[in-house]
Amino acid sequence: MLFRSTESILDDAVRDGADLLELDVKLEQGHWHVDHNDDGGTSGAFLEDVLALIDLKSADAPLFIEIKETAPTFRDISNLIEMLVDEGYAVNGRPVVLRTLLSRIDNLRDARMALNDYPFHAPYFRLHVLCGRNGASSVENFQNRIQDAY
């Protein structure tokens, strides 16, 4: 299931020379969906369909995947990485950045462990933690959160 708006937005971004392409993803009913909110809805395009788009695959912009999922299993994250690798992403010249909010850092811990199964692709994955401006009560607290994430 691929929504035309998702495809046209990506086509426009690629055509216009975007520096990077970001997809927000979440898991519903066993499928990764491109969707901003992990709210139980299944209206987002299937990630597997989006990753298969010829224009997206032929672009050279880094692919940022923001994992919005609030309760994935290790297997779910492994499946996400496997899907990216199988579609030809996370290779020389086409890095993939997996990112998530600090409150969902387990997504990245699982990703780091899952990448052990992909030694030739692991160097082309980057892991990013997103910290909101209201995510800490002080600079010291914010610095501690960054250190903990590291």
pLDDT value at residue 55: 86
| Spatial separation of the C-alpha atoms in residues 37 and 124, rounded to whole Å | 26
Q: Token digits for 53?
A: 């788009």
Mean pLDDT of 33-47: 76
- Determine the longest span between alpha carbons in the chain, in angstroms: 46
Per-residue exposure over 81-117, b if at least 16 CB sit within 10 Å of its own CB, e if not: bebbbebebbeeeebbbbbbbbebbbbbebbeebbee
- What are the tens digits of pLDDT across the range 127-144? 998 877 776 677 787 787
Q: Which residues contact 36 (CB under 8 A, 6 or more apart)?
A: 24, 68
Q: How confident is the model at residue 126 (pLDDT cuts 50, 70, 90)?
A: very high
Please report which helix (H) or strand (E) contains residue 97, including its range. strand 96-101
Q: H helices of 68-122, where?
A: 74-86, 106-114
- Angstrom distances, CA of residue 76 to CA of 9, 111, 133: 26, 10, 29
- What are the tens digits of pLDDT across the range 74-115? 999 999 999 999 999 999 989 999 999 888 889 999 999 999
* pTM for this prediction: 0.87
